[in-house]
Amino acid sequence: MVSLRQLDGTAIEKPLKHLRPAQAARAKPWRTFRNRHGQKHHSGYYWCATTGGHIIYESRLELARLMLADFDPEVVEIAAQPFRIRARVAGRDRRHVPDYLLVRADRSVTVVNVKPASQLAKPEIAEALAWPAKLIENHGWAHEIWSGEDPVYLANVRFLASQRRDGLVADEVLEAALAEAVRGVTIRELTLRLQTSWAPALLKPAVLKLLWQQRITTDLRRHLDGDSMVEACA
């Protein structure tokens, strides 16, 4: 059985086999959190470009996975703590609230649980993640246990996320930068070419915005700087 919180705050319960992606994506987070002095985890709200609204996270690791989902062009819906799943496992009543639900453009669904790699070797943690994973996969959805990403890649995406909001860069500047990136240039070369027509202060945000939108591409596994080669996506 799964329980969902509706937008009016009331909860509904239904068999997992009847749960549809749209229902889970529209649900309110199952838990709420409070910030208090001295707490060890870092929780908060992330403004998500994919959904156009705020999504909660309960740790910096969760924030990192949320940001990567926001950067993924195939992800069209993101929900935090989308439902509580309840089952009887090996004679015990068990409950579990996953961290995120991702719906992709092809309507495939991935349920994500975020755990530090240091915890995954603990038998109690592995068991607590195994039974909901089996139920979710039997439902036809993917289940992911996420523990981190290459630090360079993550730092680059975090940097690009500064331009995730629309309206920060004029469309004409974006289109000019995109046109100059067709043949492949470094970021430094691209901005120098554009300085004949546009103020330098406008150009770096334009390049970052195009990279965030993935209208131009570069190797984000290497430190992003002026010598990074960028090229317009096909």
> Quick one: pLDDT at residue 8?
86
Question: Could you give the CA distance from residue 116 to residue 121 in angstroms, rounded to a whole number?
Answer: 10
Tokens of 8: 């009016």
pTM of the model: 0.92
Angle subtended at Cα 86 by Cα 85 and Cα 92, rounded to the nearest 5 degrees: 140
Q: How many other CB atoms are found less than 10 A from the CB of residue 90? A: 7
Q: What is the C-alpha to C-alpha distance for residues 109 and 127, in angstroms, rounded to an integer?
A: 22
Token pair in block for residue 158: 């975090």
Q: Do domains 2-146 and 151-232 have the same CATH topology?
A: no
**Could you report how far apart the first and last alpha carbons of the chain are, in Å?**
45
| Residue 32, phi-psi category: left (phi > 0), alpha (psi -120 to 50), beta (remainder) | beta
Amino acid identity at 91 = G
- What was the pLDDT predicted at 91? 87
Helix (H, G, I), strand (E, B) or coil at 71: helix
Tell me, what's the pLDDT at 183? Answer: 77
- Sequence-ordered alpha helix ranges (H) in the chain: 21-26, 60-71, 117-120, 123-138, 151-160, 171-180, 187-194, 200-213
Residue 207 phi, psi (nearest 5) = -65, -45
The CATH number of domain 151-232 is 1.10.286 = no
Q: Which residues of the chain have pLDDT under 70?
A: 33-41
Residue 134, SS3 per DSSP: helix
Domain 2-146: which CATH class?
A: alpha beta
* Domain layout of the chain by residue ranges: 2-146, 151-232
* Closest of 165, 137, 149 to residue 65, by C-alpha: 149
